[in-house]
């Protein structure tokens, strides 16, 4: 079996930024307004670090702490309510979403009516609609409402909307509305993720879309892949792999993920697959898009111009065992790489280790294992394995590591062996 992993697997830049802001906030307790990402394990780890997910009603009752606005953003009305509390507000709204808020606010000021193409129940769309005082026309699919009168309309689109469907809708709108200014606000990351998923699903005889059923962009990828590949599976967790009944018959498997799926979950899926079939080869499926101008301008009928020269880059690694899976740098930048660590010291905050690199590594106490952390269990010189979770640490002294994914995978393999 060959496994092709989309280069865009893992968190998008907006989600990464939100996680960084939440985890680096020192003004505790930290609350997130709505789920920061759709992944149970990561949310559990947040809770262990004192970062709790709450809703607006709960936030309004709080008297102290920090509230994080997640990447989807919020409406100006909700922001005004939060401003009235004593909470410190950390705004992790993705800049791509903020740009849409600005377009809509400006359009409303100029007297235009607003059209939003997207899922009306999604928090991002609710937040954007708030910028239009809740009066935007929301279009979810090709079925358009009737447009009467000589109004001028401004149209924006949810950042994770399917681009092909967007093009169909926008062409229909142009035929129905005389004065239409449309902004293609689908984010660059989404476009590349969708185009990689499309390419993989055309080439593979099975596709895994790893992510949550409640994640809009994961569902869009699932739909998109399902159109090209009938053996497309939405994998939320390792247990879902039992639904894949014809594993042995798969010659080429494609893997992509939603924007809020951690890379560690991809690694676990690959590992489980490689333990179930005799031979697995992983190839990075990378697309380099030369230049994509995603900046919406104010000209009438602006279409985002795509100067896209797609270059396919493939590298291949043969996978025979767990060692190979963990060492396969399918995620670029070496994040996700397994390293052998030697303990330097351990205290209540975590474990400082050396792993042969220029910098030392640090494993936060909540990432040290599946059981409750006990610093006394780690003595200088002890050796174990962990996974690099953040290596963009030029300003920090240590590379951040996580030991849980190794422990979890080893647990699973032991369980499986015991069952056999
Ligand atoms: S998918 Fe795009 S718009 Fe949405 S959070 Fe990620 S980078 Fe931002």
Query: What does the alpha-carbon distance between residue 283 and residue 77 come to, in Å, rounded to a whole number?
Result: 47
What pLDDT, on the 0 to 100 scale, is given for residue 6? 87
What is the CATH number that goes with domain 96-182?
3.40.1010.20
Query: 108: part of which helix (H) or strand (E)?
Result: helix 95-109
**Phi, psi (rounded to 5 degrees) for 151:** -65, 155
What pLDDT, on the 0 to 100 scale, is given for residue 72? 92
Q: How far is the CA of 162 from the centre of ligand 1 (A)?
A: 13
What pLDDT, on the 0 to 100 scale, is given for residue 166? 95
Question: Does residue 192 line the site of ligand 1, with CB under 6 A?
Answer: no
- Topology of domain 2-9+191-327 in CATH is Cobalt-precorrin-4 Transmethylase; domain 1 (3.40.1010)
Query: What does the alpha-carbon distance between residue 30 and residue 23 come to, in Å, rounded to a whole number?
Result: 9
- Please calculate the CA angle 55-60-62 and round it to the nearest 5 degrees: 100
- Please calculate the CA angle 190-191-194 and round it to the nearest 5 degrees: 80
Per-residue pLDDT tens digits for 172-185:
999 889 889 999 99
Q: Are 211 and 10 in contact (CB under 8 A)?
A: no
Which atom of ligand 1 is found nearest the CA of 124? 4
Pocket test of ligand 1: the residue of 9, 11, 13 to mutate, having most ligand atoms within 8 Å of its CB, is: 13
The 3-state secondary structure of 188-239, one letter per residue: HHHHHHHHHHHHHHHHCCEEEEECCCCCHHHHHHHHHHHHHCCCEEEECCHH
What pLDDT, on the 0 to 100 scale, is given for residue 265? 84
Q: How far is the CA of 205 from the centre of ligand 1 (A)?
A: 29
What pLDDT, on the 0 to 100 scale, is given for residue 284? 57
Evaluated on CA atoms 78, 81, 87, 91, the torsion sign reads positive
Q: Where are the domains of the chain?
A: 2-9+191-327, 96-182, 338-419
Catalytic residues: 124
Specify the residue with its C-alpha closest to ligand 1, atom 5: 14
What pLDDT, on the 0 to 100 scale, is given for residue 385? 84
Tell me whether the CATH fold assigned to 2-9+191-327 matches the one assigned to 338-419.
no
Query: 165: part of which helix (H) or strand (E)?
Result: helix 163-176
Q: How far is the CA of 189 from the centre of ligand 1 (A)?
A: 7
What is the architecture, at CATH level 2, of domain 338-419? Answer: Beta Barrel (2.40)
Per-residue pLDDT tens digits for 277-328:
655 666 555 443 333 332 322 222 222 233 233 344 455 555 554 455 555 5
Specify the residue with its C-alpha closest to ligand 1, atom 8: 14
Q: 110: how many CB neighbours lie within 10 A of its CB?
A: 10
Which atom of ligand 1 is found nearest the CA of 15? 5
Tell me which residues of the chain have a pLDDT lower than 50.
286-313, 321-322, 329-333, 393-395
Q: Are 280 and 4 in contact (CB under 8 A)?
A: no
What pLDDT, on the 0 to 100 scale, is given for residue 73? 95
Per-residue pLDDT tens digits for 404-419:
767 766 665 555 555 5
């Amino acid at each position: 079996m060959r496994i092709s992993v989309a280069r865009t697997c893992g968190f998008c830049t907006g989600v990464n930024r939100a996680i960084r802001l939440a985890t680096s906030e020192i003004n505790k307790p930290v609350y997130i307004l709505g789920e920061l990402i759709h992944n149970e394990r990561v949310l559990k780890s947040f809770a262990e670090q004192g970062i709790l997910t709450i809703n607006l009603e709960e936030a309004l009752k709080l008297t102290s702490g920090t509230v994080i606005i997640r990447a989807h953003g919020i409406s100006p009305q909700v922001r005004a309510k939060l401003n009235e509390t004593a909470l410190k507000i950390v705004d992790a709204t993705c800049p791509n979403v903020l740009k849409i808020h600005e377009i809509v606010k400006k359009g409303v000021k100029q007297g235009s009516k607003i059209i939003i193409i997207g899922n009306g129940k999604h928090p991002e769309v609710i937040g954007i609609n708030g910028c239009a005082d809740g009066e935007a026309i929301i279009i979810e699919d090709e079925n358009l409402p009737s447009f009467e009168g000589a109004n001028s309309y401004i149209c924006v689109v949810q950042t994770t909307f399917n681009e092909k469907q967007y093009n169909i809708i926008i062409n229909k709108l142009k035929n129905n509305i005389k004065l239409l200014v449309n902004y293609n606000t689908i984010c660059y990351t989404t476009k590349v993720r969708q185009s990689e998923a499309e390419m993989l699903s055309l080439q593979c005889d099975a596709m895994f879309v790893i992510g949550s059923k409640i994640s809009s962009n994961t569902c869009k990828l699932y739909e998109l892949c399902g159109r090209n590949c009938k053996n497309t599976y939405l994998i939320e967790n390792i247990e879902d792999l039992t639904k894949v009944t014809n594993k042995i018959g798969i010659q080429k498997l494609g893997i992509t993920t939603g924007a809020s799926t951690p890379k560690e979950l991809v690694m676990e899926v690959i590992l489980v697959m490689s333990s179930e079939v005799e031979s697995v080869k992983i190839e990075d499926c990378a697309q380099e898009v030369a230049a994509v101008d995603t900046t919406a301008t104010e000209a009438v009928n602006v279409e985002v111009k795509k100067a896209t020269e797609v270059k396919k880059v493939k590298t291949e690694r043969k996978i025979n065992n767990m060692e190979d899976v963990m060492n396969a740098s399918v995620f670029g930048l070496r994040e996700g790489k397994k390293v052998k660590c030697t303990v330097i010291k351990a205290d209540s905050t975590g474990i400082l280790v050396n792993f042969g690199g220029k910098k030392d590594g640090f494993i936060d106490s909540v990432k040290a294992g599946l059981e409750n952390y006990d610093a006394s269990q780690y003595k200088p010189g002890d050796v174990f394995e962990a996974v690099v979770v953040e290596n963009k640490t030029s300003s920090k002294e240590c590379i951040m590591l996580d030991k849980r994914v190794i422990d979890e995978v080893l647990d699973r393999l032991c369980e499986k062996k015991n069952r056999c």
